Chain A
Amino acid sequence: MDAEVAVVGAGPAGLSASIEAARLGAKIVLIDENGKPGGQLFKQIHKFFGSMEHLAGLRGYDIGNKLWQRAMELKINVMLNTTVFGIFGDKTLGLLTTMGSEILRAQRIILATGGSENTIAFPGWTLPGVMGAGAAQTLINVHRVLPGKRILMVGSGNVGLIVSYQLLQAGAEVVALVEAAPKIGGYRVHAAKIQRAGVPIMVSHTVKRAHGRDYVEAATIVRVDDDLKMIPGTEKTFDVDTICLAVGLTPLSELAWMSGCKFIFVPTLGGHVPIHNEDLETTVEGIYVAGDIAGIEEASIAMEEGRLAGIAAAESLGYAREEATKLKKEIKERVQQLRRGPFGEDRYLAKQRIMKVAPR
């Protein structure tokens, strides 16, 4: 099989990239290992933050559906339930479909594989009942099953805050939310929502151990000092059956490593990030990254980065040269807008660091 542009991952970044590149005339193959397109979006039932241009106010799954509809109108070739297990010399992708394996040769590749959830280790953390916050979110919002009745949430970034609220909506009790840092990590509005519902947010606290023989039956939390060291004597134990870890995401970048892309370590963006320029092209010519793989941010930015990468890839193949320059300029301005404010500022500076070492 051949493609002008192979897009790996059908989340907001990959869908947006495919739509733009297809609109400009490029022949796309869009691949996702999931049976459903939309990536993280399909489990997000809250109204999105961000600006109107970025569909803020719509719920995550509505945004996913909108993008999917557009991709269908453009008759993009989509392969679901298909995992890209490797990229070999000269842009050859190994695909694992439900039927077996297949080879796809592409002229350009856009990697939009998203991120994976981080974990933290503590005594008892391998017990059934300890799980990623994203895992719990998938269970309740997609599969409509509660992981447990009484939950301890670890981490107060937006994911921890939003998933706590969604667990309440699903009928569970969130006994407490602990955060090791001295202040809440996510947006004030999200924190206020769960506090109003009676969930205590305990900053400078972490989970010390999970108790239980075959599954979680209780959890002990402890206060930590400014160096994040546990303070003996401050332990509290709660009866819980589930401990959710919302301790950040890391770019899912194996395919970029395999392709020989150079990386840079940027903690603000989740760890090792493939070096990329303003057009999202990596250090390997013709391979682009977009969305969380290019640094953990948010869906609105993932969509813009996807568009940019899609346009840049199409442009490099000779499509719509003049239009592309104009479109790219508009998108770059919008991305700048999105990276304003106390949260955006750090990410903006981190991205600048990456661009500085990027080719061209």
Chain B
Amino acid sequence: MRIKSHPILGDIPKRKLVKIEVDGRTIEAFEGEPIAAALLAAGIKVFRRTVKRREPRGLFCTIGQCTDCMMTVNGMPNVRTCITPVEEGMEISTQIGRGERS
């Protein structure tokens, strides 16, 4: 959910909308915002599953410290989505375990 208007910060700044792909589904995102913000805005909360028990993990610290938000981005696993900016056409997928190719 985007915060479109805000009593102190005013209207949401205008930025360029781009398309990215998440697990095969196309969503809209603002260029340059963290990938994690775009996913939350699209209602996606599970970013990866743990190595052994495949438990869900999502955003936790939002400042690059905890690594809970890691996903596979353009084929590269272990990308911290909370501090990685969106680029047009990015392909993002839920990371399973360490993100080894199956």
Spell out A's residues near B (CB within 8 Å). Answer: 33-34, 45, 59, 116-117, 126-132, 134-136, 138-141, 143-147, 149, 169-171, 214-215
- A215 interface neighbour in B34, B41, B56, Cβ under 8 Å: B56
Cβ contact within 8 Å between A143 and B34? yes
- A239 shortest CB reach to chain B, Å: 16
Min distance, Cβ B83 to any Cβ of chain A, angstroms: 8
C-alpha spacing A116/B64, complex, angstroms: 11
Q: Are B3 and A144 in contact (CB under 8 A)?
A: yes
Interface centre among B1, B7, B12, B57 (most CB of A within 10 A): B1
Known: A130-B60, A146-B40. 13 other contacts (CB 8 A): A45-B8, A128-B57, A131-B59, A131-B60, A132-B60, A134-B63, A139-B59, A141-B9, A144-B12, A145-B40, A147-B59, A149-B1, A170-B3
The reply to whether the CB of B6 lies closer than 8 angstroms to some CB of chain A is: yes
Pair count A-B, CB < 8 A: 83
Chain B 55-75: CB-based contact to A (< 8 A → 1; otherwise 0): 111111111110000000000
Q: Does B37 contact A (CB under 8 A)?
A: yes
Distance in Å from the Cβ of B58 to the closest Cβ of chain A?
A: 3
Q: Hey, which chain B residues are within 8 Å of A170, CB to CB?
A: 3, 6
Q: Is the CB of A139 within 8 A of B60?
A: no
Cβ of A340 to closest chain B Cβ, rounded Å: 30
Chain B interface, number of residues (Cβ within 8 angstroms): 28
Q: A128-B57, A129-B45 are in contact. Are A139 and B9 (CB under 8 A)?
A: no
Contact check: which of A126, A131, A140, A149 meets B55 at CB < 8 Å? A126
B3 contact from A59, A116, A126, A140, Cβ within 8 A: A140
Partner among B3, B8, B55, B58 whose Cβ is within 8 Å of the Cβ of A145: B3
Task: Assess the A139–B40 pair: CB atoms within 8 A.
Answer: yes
Q: Would B8 and A116 count as touching, CB distance under 8 A?
A: no
Residues of B within 8 A of A45 (CB): 8-9
B12 contact set on A, CB distance < 8 A: 144
- Which of A132, A149, A214 contacts B62 (CB under 8 A)? A132
Q: Which residues of A lie under 8 Å from residue B46 when comparing CB positions?
A: 128, 214-215
Identity of the chain A residue whose Cβ is nearest the Cβ of B33 in the assembled complex: A143
24 A–B pairs (Cβ distance < 8 Å), ordered by A: A34-B63, A45-B9, A126-B55, A128-B56, A128-B58, A130-B60, A131-B59, A131-B61, A132-B62, A134-B61, A135-B60, A135-B62, A139-B62, A141-B9, A143-B34, A143-B37, A144-B3, A144-B13, A145-B1, A145-B2, A169-B6, A170-B3, A171-B3, A214-B46
Chain A residues whose CB sits within 8 angstroms of the CB of B2 once the complex forms: 144-146
CB distance from A207 to the nearest CB of B (A): 16
Which residues of B sit under 8 angstroms from A171, Cβ to Cβ?
A: 1, 3
Known: A128-B46, A135-B62. A214 touches B3 (CB 8 A): no
Chain A, residue nearest B63 (CB): A138
Closest to A45 in B: B8
A214/B61 in contact, CB under 8 A: no
Inside 8 A of A127's CB, which chain B residues have their CB?
56, 58
How far apart are B35's CB and chain A's nearest CB, in angstroms? 11
Given the known interface contacts A141-B9, A169-B7, A169-B8, the answer about A135 and B59 at a Cβ–Cβ threshold of 8 Å is: yes
**Are B58 and A146 closer than 8 Å at their CB atoms?**
no
Chain B residues with CB under 8 Å of A135's CB are 59-63
Cα A147 to Cα B60 in complex, Å, equals: 10
Give the complex CA separation of A134 and B61 in angstroms.
Answer: 7
